[in-house]
């Protein structure tokens, strides 16, 4: 998944400040790395403290959010001191450091990378830590752990989880007399009623089809899977045809969308915010942005509509924290990760600081999530969302074979049959070429 840039609302910032006040200074209820309390206050860096470096590529608000968690941890005990280091082109630098002895101690990790890099022996398994400290895998979404695993080894814990859900403009749906859709047919029918053309100019798109990367989600909704069990493409079939026929219906028959519509509005123009887009698939990372428009954007969210046979699907993404194999202080690194990602209070602090959905499920029982109707559709969706296939060549296949062919299809330059066949032929070759990680 791409790095998300988060915008914090004033209310959220005040909440964070209040939480920090309760977690720093001389508060007798501070959490230590083992979950106990520290009556003596914060970590005053000294020669005895083990110094850890934490690499990440989130700058701006993301950096401030990471530094918030680092500061609270440092003040919670005196044995370990963590420093967040912003790294541009982080993966390239990490791979170089892994062979030169300069690895960080903790690494911010886009989970889908695990199947690509774990075979290079640059990540340290945490299975023994998990068992030793009695941390239950049931406290995390199984899919998120699957994405951090390879060949029986778990390489980190989930920091965030996310999935696509359907955002809709309440005002536009009310004016068109339609309800939020629950099925493919309802989605297509609603989109047609919500679309407004002025001659050849599309003024309001009923539904966005701008992200061909969501093919995986649609395929699952059609009852399919992206790869076979033996690691070959699995979309040149009836399920794949159903997806493209559905797209063709909305693009070329009902004309609810025009390729490139959002980009054509000009820089800085958000089609959903300005009321030019009635419905779209996006994730929880957009909540803070859309909420800040208040009465000017009255929106709702529902889980993704089910496919022709009632199949529900969404694609789970998110990030984790991992320990590089070259880390000099693996035990202390694990203490930091455990403090953050296996403790309800600290996972919740992270959620309120960053407005992310935390990877630690017990934190989701808090009223912060339970009492906010905007989070509920995502909670429902995460129960059935699946991660991308755990194959070292999957991302290459999707990016270099499937996506270009889907774009040609959407541009009416290629038939359904040719699109799926070419994507299959090119994709199977790329999967095979990238089966062995070098």
Please check the confidence at residue 362 and state whether its pLDDT lies above 90.
yes
Residue with more model confidence, 184 or 34: 184
Predicted pLDDT of residue 288: 87
- Confidence bin at 264 (pLDDT 50/70/90): low
238-248 vs 403-410: helix axis angle to the nearest 10? 40
Contact in structure between 90 and 104 (CB atoms under 8 Å): no
- Phi, psi (degrees; rounded to nearest 5) at 218: -60, -40
- Confidence bin at 32 (pLDDT 50/70/90): very low
Predicted pLDDT of residue 145: 98
DSSP 303: P
Predicted pLDDT of residue 293: 80
Contact in structure between 119 and 437 (CB atoms under 8 Å): yes
Predicted pLDDT of residue 263: 83
Please choose, from the candidates 53, 60, 66, the residue with its C-alpha nearest in 3D space to the C-alpha of residue 16: 66
Question: Do strands 299-302 and 165-169 pair parallel, antiparallel, or not at all (unpaired)?
Answer: antiparallel
Q: How confident is the prediction for the chain on average, in pLDDT?
A: 89
Predicted pLDDT of residue 3: 41
Integer angstrom CA distances of residue 205 from 56, 208, 245, 411: 37, 7, 19, 17
C-alpha dihedral sign at 177, 182, 183, 184: positive
**What's the CA gap between 382 and 163, in Å, rounded?**
6
**What's the CA gap between 138 and 175, in Å, rounded?**
44
CATH class of the region 164-315: alpha beta
DSSP 395-419: HHHIIIIIHHHHHHHHTTSS-HHHH
**What's the CA gap between 294 and 259, in Å, rounded?**
29
Contact in structure between 123 and 114 (CB atoms under 8 Å): yes
DSSP 178-244: -PPP-BHHHHHHHHHHH-EEETTEEEEBSS----GGGHHHHHHHTT--SB-TTS-B--SSHHHHHHH
DSSP 120: G
- Confidence bin at 40 (pLDDT 50/70/90): very low
- Confidence bin at 268 (pLDDT 50/70/90): low
Residue environment code for 319-344, b if the CB has 16+ CB neighbours within 10 A, otherwise e: bbbbbbbbbebbebbbbbbbbbbbbb
DSSP 142: H
- Fold agreement (10-162+317-382, 164-315): yes
For the chain, give every domain's residue range: 10-162+317-382, 164-315
Please choose, from the candidates 179, 379, 380, the residue with its C-alpha nearest in 3D space to the C-alpha of residue 279: 179
- Confidence bin at 292 (pLDDT 50/70/90): confident
Q: What is the pLDDT of residues 172-207, one digit of tens each?
A: 999 999 999 999 999 999 999 999 999 999 999 999
Counted residue by residue, the chain has a size of 438
Q: What is the pLDDT of residues 410-437, one digit of tens each?
A: 999 999 999 999 999 999 999 999 887 6
**201-221 mean pLDDT:** 97
Output the CA torsion 354→82→333→356 (10° steps): 0
Q: Which fold would CATH assign to domain 10-162+317-382?
A: D-Maltodextrin-Binding Protein; domain 2 (3.40.190)
Predicted pLDDT of residue 228: 97
């Amino acid at each position: 998944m791409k790095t998300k840039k988060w915008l914090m609302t004033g209310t959220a910032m005040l909440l964070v400040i209040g939480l920090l006040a309760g977690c720093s200074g001389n508060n007798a209820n501070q959490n230590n790395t083992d979950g106990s309390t520290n009556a003596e206050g914060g970590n005053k860096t000294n020669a005895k403290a083990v110094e850890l470096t934490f690499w990440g590529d989130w700058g701006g608000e993301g950096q401030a959010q990471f530094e918030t968690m680092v500061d609270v941890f440092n003040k919670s005990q005196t044995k370990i001191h963590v420093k967040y280091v912003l790294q541009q082109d982080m993966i390239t630098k990490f791979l170089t450091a892994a062979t030169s002895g300069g690895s960080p101690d903790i690494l911010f990790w886009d989970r889908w990378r695990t199947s690509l890099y774990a075979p290079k022996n640059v990540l340290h398994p945490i299975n023994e830590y998990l068992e030793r400290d009695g941390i239950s895998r049931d406290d995390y979404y199984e899919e998120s752990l699957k994405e951090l695993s390879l060949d029986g080894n778990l390489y980190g814990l989930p920091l965030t989880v996310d999935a696509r859900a359907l955002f809709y403009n309440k005002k536009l749906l009310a004016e068109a007399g339609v309800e939020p859709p629950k099925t493919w047919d309802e989605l297509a029918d609603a989109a047609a009623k919500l679309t407004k053309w002025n001659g050849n100019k599309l003024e309001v798109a009923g539904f966005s089809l701008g992200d061909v990367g969501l093919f995986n989600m649609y395929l699952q909704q059609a009852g399919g899977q992206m790869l076979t069990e033996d690691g070959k493409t699995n979309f040149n079939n009836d399920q794949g045809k159903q997806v493209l026929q559905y797209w063709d219906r909305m693009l070329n028959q009902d004309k609810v969308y025009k390729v490139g519509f959002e980009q054509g509005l000009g820089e800085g123009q958000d089609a959903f915010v300005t009321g030019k887009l009635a419905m779209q698939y996006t994730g929880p990372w957009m909540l803070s942005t859309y909420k800040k428009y208040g009465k000017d954007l009255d929106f709702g969210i529902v889980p993704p509509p089910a496919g022709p046979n009632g199949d529900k699907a969404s694609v789970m993404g998110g990030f984790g924290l991992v320990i590089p194999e070259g880390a000099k202080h693996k035990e202390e690194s694990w203490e930091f990760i455990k403090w953050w990602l296996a403790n309800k209070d600290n996972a919740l602090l992270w959620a309120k600081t960053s407005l992310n959905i935390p990877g630690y499920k017990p934190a989701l029982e808090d009223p912060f999530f339970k009492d906010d109707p905007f989070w509920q559709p995502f909670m429902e969706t995460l129960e059935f969302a699946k991660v991308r296939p755990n194959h070292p060549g999957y991302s290459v296949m999707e990016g270099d074979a499937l996506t270009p062919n889907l774009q040609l299809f959407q541009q009416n330059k290629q038939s359904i049959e040719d699109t799926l066949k070419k994507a299959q032929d090119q994709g199977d070759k790329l999967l095979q070429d990238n089966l062995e990680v070098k």
